[in-house]
A and B are shown apart, each in its own frame.
Chain A
């Protein structure tokens, strides 16, 4: 297969190494060019760089020298000592490389398993390499299959369903209570990073009326301006409670701000419409007994953390199922890869058989001196016809395998039977051998499919 994947990630490298290895989106094309310069034997290459990993996936003729060239490229980029980098870099070959790439795209190798950004990042890396003409049939096919498997993991497992951050969990809980948050009012008590982040999620989910109240009114004004809300004075805060559906509380108050009795009275004023308290303050701002009031829901920071932990556990369980899906897709890729060789095999087989025919014809020519040119032509015609007839069936089978519905190993077998091993090993569609001209390809084209039309 001659695939290599090398790079580093949060599994092997600490942040101070990773941060030196980040290629921002604009510098990737240049970096790919530099890579080709340093490693001329590379035939196809893709460079993926995120804050948690930098990896190069490539196809080459001779893996051993190529690998050290590519490592040199990465070490040059980092500007760190070789020994330190060598420790952080990992390498996967062939099927292992495919498996790693598929698992990574499906977010099984991520720091937070199941996070959705990685797929987009891989897609961007693919798009960039494609535009730069660095991808041929094989890596392009590999990427597309990786996307497909990642998508399948996402739809067939619950790996990305449950939120795993406190702020987003709080938002999801609000949606469990209220459904759509459109038209819901939120009161933020006390300002802080976490409460603002939670508020942002709520606004993203549709909440559109925001009140901010802090002990210092100026601070409330400041936050309110930022989140496009309305500042209210802390003393009058309780007057606004009946109109709000969600309360995010994170004040530094040493004692409880809202007692159970307050909320019982509040529920009467609200005619029992539900209210959701998110208390992320330590010490807590809201009496835990508030949760016992009908239609009032109270989550403190520990409650939210517990939900997050449960969800992480759930993701790990789902990850096991995802691994199975990925493994199936890796097998499918392997099959596809094997059948890729079918096109060149057809040509090689035809050539080899007709060479045999011509050799034999030359050998017998001396004995056929008595034949007229017309008769000689008939003999030649006979030979060609015979070879074509014999080749017919294997050709049909090979063409079938190009559409992907052949038994695994069929192409291998044919190659072995007709003694084509060497030629077919290096055979790959011509487009893959040379980088395409940038811009020469507007839309991804399936070379194999295109090759099929004139057969």
Chain B
């Protein structure tokens, strides 16, 4: 059953991603509604598969990065559907749906089976760390998406070929506001997540030093980038193109830390 649901979700995500791109030039409301419907169906199947995976999970969640990725894919689709239903922000689909598809693919096939971890690792603290960090990354999805939209919009305006006349992008100011607010939320959650990880590490291994692999170093790199960006914004009003570029770099580090496992 879980396999069937997973296949259904994968099909839904793949199809809706295609639809989101293919219907961009159509400019018809009817066509625009196709991708969200298919994505919604995929989401239902995904939710089912996720619940069932959660019930059968016997290993510690910390090792089951696959479930984290799966949850992130879920969040990406939920963000997309919310943006579409609430703000008719159709373009969100060309960012969120490929992202969801990628995360879902990694969660299902591309990562090795989760490692057996001793049950001692299974502590509320670790659970909390995972939940908070996952939510933080979800907020960063928005930061990333709106950074890219900002750059596209900004470039078009500077080159005097306003793209938004045929691609309904939000205004620069809206992009900037959303990327800033989501970055603050994401950064805050990631900071709490890191602190929880450190405490947990101290409990389990007697050291606050959680940076034991390259992957953890990537997490630190992204945290430093986001922190620096927010500091510059708050103190000197630093904003615009450079800020968008840096947040995209920070987000790339986060993604590499999450799905780069096999390559690092």
Contact A179 B239, CB 8 Å, known A299-B160, A307-B162: no
Question: Complex Cα distance A383/B194, Å?
Answer: 96
A291 at interface (Cβ–Cβ under 8 A)? yes
CB distance from A326 to the nearest CB of B (A): 16
With a 10 A CB-CB cut-off, give which of A176, A270, A273 has the most chain B CB atoms. Answer: A176
Contact A176 B164, CB 8 Å, known A158-B27, A274-B173, A297-B158: yes
A6 at interface (Cβ–Cβ under 8 A)? no
Contact A294 B171, CB 8 Å, known A162-B165, A176-B162, A176-B164: no
Which residue of the partner chain, among A155, A173, A294, A310, contacts B157 with CB atoms under 8 Å? A173
A-facing mask of B108-151, CB < 8 A → 1, else 0? 00000000000000000000000000000000000000000000
Contact B240 A294 (CB under 8 A): yes
Contact A272 B237 (CB under 8 A): yes
A295 at interface (Cβ–Cβ under 8 A)? yes
B227 at interface (Cβ–Cβ under 8 A)? no
Question: Complex Cα distance A75/B173, Å?
Answer: 57
B-facing mask of A162-185, CB < 8 A → 1, else 0? 100000000011011111000000
Contact B166 A303 (CB under 8 A): no
Question: Complex Cα distance A271/B238, Å?
Answer: 7
B181 at interface (Cβ–Cβ under 8 A)? no
A222 at interface (Cβ–Cβ under 8 A)? no
Contact A306 B160, CB 8 Å, known A155-B29, A295-B240: yes
Contact B171 A178 (CB under 8 A): yes
Query: Number of A residues whose C-beta is below 8 Å from B?
Result: 29
Contact A310 B161 (CB under 8 A): yes
By a CB distance below 8 angstroms, the chain A residues around B172 are: 176-179, 274
Closest to B172 in A: A177
Query: Number of B residues whose C-beta is below 8 Å from A?
Result: 24
Which residue of the partner chain, among B158, B166, B170, B237, contacts A271 with CB atoms under 8 Å? B237
A350 at interface (Cβ–Cβ under 8 A)? no
A327 at interface (Cβ–Cβ under 8 A)? no
Closest to A321 in B: B27
By a CB distance below 8 angstroms, the chain B residues around A161 are: 165
Question: Complex Cα distance A156/B162, Å?
Answer: 21
Closest to B29 in A: A155
B7 at interface (Cβ–Cβ under 8 A)? no
Question: Complex Cα distance A314/B161, Å?
Answer: 13
Contact A179 B174, CB 8 Å, known A155-B29, A161-B165: yes
Contact A271 B236, CB 8 Å, known A176-B153, A176-B162, A294-B242: yes
CB distance from A203 to the nearest CB of B (A): 18
B88 at interface (Cβ–Cβ under 8 A)? no
A-facing mask of B13-33, CB < 8 A → 1, else 0? 000000000000001110000
By a CB distance below 8 angstroms, the chain B residues around A270 are: 237
Closest to B31 in A: A156
By a CB distance below 8 angstroms, the chain A residues around B242 are: 294
By a CB distance below 8 angstroms, the chain B residues around A177 are: 157, 171-173
Taking CB atoms and an 8 Å cut-off, the chain B residues in 167-187 that contact chain A are 170-174
B241 at interface (Cβ–Cβ under 8 A)? yes
CB distance from A149 to the nearest CB of B (A): 15
Closest to A310 in B: B161
Question: Complex Cα distance A179/B153, Å?
Answer: 12
Contact B160 A176 (CB under 8 A): no
CB distance from B27 to the nearest CB of A (A): 5
A69 at interface (Cβ–Cβ under 8 A)? no
Question: Complex Cα distance A426/B237, Å?
Answer: 78
Taking CB atoms and an 8 Å cut-off, the chain A residues in 298-325 that contact chain B are 299, 303, 306-307, 310-311, 314
14 contacts between A and B (CB under 8 A): A155-B29, A172-B165, A176-B162, A176-B172, A177-B171, A178-B172, A179-B170, A271-B237, A272-B238, A272-B239, A307-B160, A310-B165, A314-B165, A314-B166
Residues of A within 8 A of B (CB): 155-158, 161-162, 172-173, 175-179, 270-274, 291, 294-295, 297, 299, 303, 306-307, 310-311, 314
